[in-house]
Chains A and B, each alone.
Chain A
Amino acid sequence: MDDGVLTDHAATDTRVDDLDHGRRSRRTLLWIAGLTGLLLVSIPVAVGLGPVAISPDVVARIVANHAFGWPEATWSRSDDSIVWLVRTPRVLLAAVVGAALAISGAALQALVRNVLAEPYLLGVTSGASTGAALTLLFGVGASYGASSLTGSAFVGAIAAMGVVFALARAGGRITSVRLLLAGVAVGYVLNAATSFLIFASDDPEGARAVLFWLLGSLSRASWSGVAVAGALMAAAFLVLLVWSRKLDALTLGDDTAHALGSPPARLRAQALLVVALCVGAAVAVSGGIGFVGLIVPHVARLCVGGVHRRLLPVSALIGASFLIWADVAARMTFVPRELPIGIVTAVVGAPFLLILVRRLRSTT
């Protein structure tokens, strides 16, 4: 059969509907339904797991009791506070941070058009670390009480992002190469600053705390942290979802994006701001959790392809469940000591990356 351009039109026009309409959206919906189910099961199970095991059924009743005032309490007071005050916010925070890192990674990979891009590339984590080190080692902002660490980390993250942004913008439009280089440069400077702070401080406990923070931990989870990080993550998710076709266009190149009606420099600047707030919030409440933002979007692409309208929700769901279970592993492996979660995500993530390297279809 002749496959040339002059083939008779009518012959195959009847199969127009199978192009995308039903089939692909059904597949995406199946993924979303399955992953949502996984997340909904993971949350109560993960809350129940820990040094003190509590069955998911009791977990559900404790949560319902606090949320709706029903059913009557038939459990111990200590179970109640473990579930409601410690583990539920912690598991929810894991889900929020996992989703935030995953959607930020997916968006950044499109913004700088690079498969190795991840949220930490922008200097955001390094800035947060320097901010956290200032508080942990020198008590900067300590007068603000319990939230001072989170606050200074967030300020550090946003300030670093601002510098990266200004550098990438200096003398022209923000291109992907400029942005990558500026992010790497600022990251190095800030990492050196954090190391210097550790070196300059005489407080070995403080240095240990900084190290723990650098590797990430959800142990400081609170309901207010869940609320703030969750709100920023949800807002970023919605904005990026609205811009999903613009992100698709941007992955094809700056000229093509412009020609398709998405001026690349402006879109990059706006999307970066959104991503910076989202990552800044995640890092401020959890420290430097690596690999999630790099790996999860690639896994999601293997499931539903690279179009952002499908990629972003699936990335968020995979990231949420993944970090919940990574945190369970961090809590349970060396009881009663807690492993920094960044070690878990790296141990799980690195082999995943190797598998992806083999599976990722790329011409370059």
Chain B
Amino acid sequence: MISAADVTFAYNGNPVLAGVGLDVGSGRVVGLIGPNGSGKTTLLRILYSALTPLTGAVLIDDRPVTSLAGRELPRRIAVVAQEAPPELPITVADMVLLGRAPHRSALQAYTAEDYRLAASALHRVGMRDLADRDFSMLSGGEKQRTLIARAIAQQAGHLLLDEPTNHLDIHYQHEVLHLVRALGITTVVVLHDLNLAARYCDHLVLLDRGSVAKAGPTADVLTPEVLEPVYRVSVRVLDDEDCMQLVFRPQVPVNEPQPSTG
């Protein structure tokens, strides 16, 4: 369970988040959506204490995230962040084994159990045969799946992902999110693609300029009334056989000034 209340944050005096709250029930997949610069990634980083908010607090299973010191944090939360690929070589196997490091002290070697868990995590994401490859040589989809394998091997009860489908083709977008969904653990995922959010999230939190514009069950958030003022596009919701589909159309010609009533 993850909950955040009254989170405020600013970069160098520029407010980014103003009084944002979030509740993620056990085993739920919650999507963080919103336009560029709305504060999605900042909120996600606050959730795993990479950033310290000015006000407000984040609770992980009713404990403040800031009180999770050292190896306790990664034993509770696994993170798939968006970072530039490392310049220094590291194999896929070693990358996934790092997910086991929080379960061992600095002086302890990895055990046979760690290797077994890493191997089965790699197997689960279909990367078992690439275990000896250098991470930086992988394709975008393979990299993302490797990071998810590390998160699986970490055996944390919570998973945070920052745009895990970025740079992936449609097949891998669905494959990665399908995989995340199948893990069945408490998940917060930052997503740009609202149709992916529609298909894979239980709840959505829509951020707009640092505030929560709407939060709730996916079908309640993905409505034209909610989305149009935030994204400034026309939205039509279609009912596809098993899942809703959103169709977008520009609201006004791009070059003209926006009406102030937006």
Do chains A and B interact in one complex? yes
Any B CB within 8 A of the CB of A33: no
Cβ of A245 under 8 Å from chain B: yes
Residue of A nearest to B73 (CB): A261
Bound CA–CA A20/B86 (angstroms): 21
- The distance in angstroms between the C-alpha atoms of A252 and B78, with both chains bound, is 15
Interface size class of A (residues with CB under 8 A): 35 or more
**Does A306 contact B89, Cβ atoms closer than 8 Å?**
yes
> What's the nearest-Cβ distance from chain A to residue B171, in Å?
10
- B112 close to A115 (CB less than 8 A): no
**Which of B24-32, B120-128, B204-212, B242-250 faces chain A?**
B120-128
Name which residue of chain A comes closest to B99, CB basis: A260
User: Which one of B129-137, B193-201, B214-222, B233-241 is at the interface?
Assistant: B129-137
Asked if B134 contacts A5 (CB within 8 A), the reply is no
Contact A242 B107 (CB under 8 A): yes
The reply on A315 being an interface residue by CB < 8 A is: no
* Alpha-carbon separation in the docked complex, A253 to B49 (Å): 15
- A1-60 contacts to B (CB < 8 Å): 3-5, 7, 9, 12-13, 15-17, 19-21
| A113 CA / B83 CA spacing, docked (Å) | 12
- When the two chains form their complex, are residues B115 and A9 in contact, meaning their CB atoms are under 8 A apart? no
Q: Is A217 close to B, CB under 8 A?
A: no
Q: Once bound together, how far apart are the Cα atoms of A230 and B182, in whole Å?
A: 54
Alpha-carbon gap, A317 to B136, bound state (A)? 27
B94 touches A255 (CB 8 A): no
Q: Mark B117-154, 1 if CB is under 8 A from A, else 0.
A: 01110111110110100101100000001000000000
Contact yes or no, B81 A253, CB < 8 A: yes
A245 touches B119 (CB 8 A): no
Encode contact with B along A49-91: 1 for CB under 8 Å, 0 otherwise.
0000000000000000000000000000000000000000000
Given contacts A4-B126, A5-B178, A256 and B81 within 8 Å (CB-CB)? yes
Q: Is the CB of B125 within 8 A of A5?
A: yes
- Is the CB of A249 closer than 8 A to any CB of chain B? yes
| A114 and B87 form a contact (CB under 8 A) | yes
Interface residues on B, range: 35 or more
Q: How many A-B residue pairs have CB under 8 A?
A: 133
User: Is B49's CB under 8 angstroms from A258's CB?
Assistant: yes
Measured CA separation A251–B85 after assembly (Å): 9
Please choose the segment from A201-209, A281-289, A356-364 that sits at the chain B interface, where 4 or more of its residues have CB less than 8 A away: A356-364
- Whether the pair B74, A259 counts as a contact (CB closer than 8 A) is yes
Residues of A contacting B91 in the complex (Cβ-Cβ under 8 angstroms): 305
The residues of A that contact B170 with a CB separation of less than 8 Å are: none
Q: With A5-B124, A5-B125, A255-B81 in contact, do A245 and B87 touch (Cβ < 8 Å)?
A: no
Q: Does B70 make an interface contact (CB < 8 A)?
A: yes
B90 on interface, CB distance cutoff 8 Å: yes
B70: contacting residue among A7, A114, A261, CB under 8 A: A261
A248 B178 Cβ-Cβ under 8 A: no
Contact A363 B136 (CB under 8 A): yes
B154 CB to nearest chain A CB (Å): 8
Q: Does B98 contact A (CB under 8 A)?
A: yes
- Taking the complex as formed, is A129 at the interface, i.e. its CB lies under 8 A from any CB of chain B? no
**A113 and B87 contacting across the interface, CB-CB below 8 Å:** yes
Interface residue B9 (Cβ < 8 Å from any Cβ of A): no
Min C-beta distance of A141 to chain B, whole Å: 39
B88 contacts chain A at the CB level, 8 A cutoff: yes
Q: Which residue of A19, A114, A364 is within 8 Å of B131 (Cβ)?
A: A19
Expressed in whole angstroms, the minimum distance between the Cβ of A97 and any Cβ of chain B is: 24
Beyond A21-B112, A255-B81, A261-B70, whether A9 also contacts B50 by CB under 8 A is no
Pair B175/A115 contact, Cβ less than 8 Å: no
Known: A252-B98, A361-B136, A364-B87. 8 other contacts (CB 8 A): A248-B101, A255-B81, A260-B98, A260-B99, A260-B102, A261-B102, A362-B136, A363-B136
Residues in A lying within 8 Å of B, measured CB to CB:
3-5, 7, 9, 12-13, 15-17, 19-21, 109-110, 113-115, 242-243, 245-246, 248-249, 251-256, 258-261, 301, 305-307, 361-364
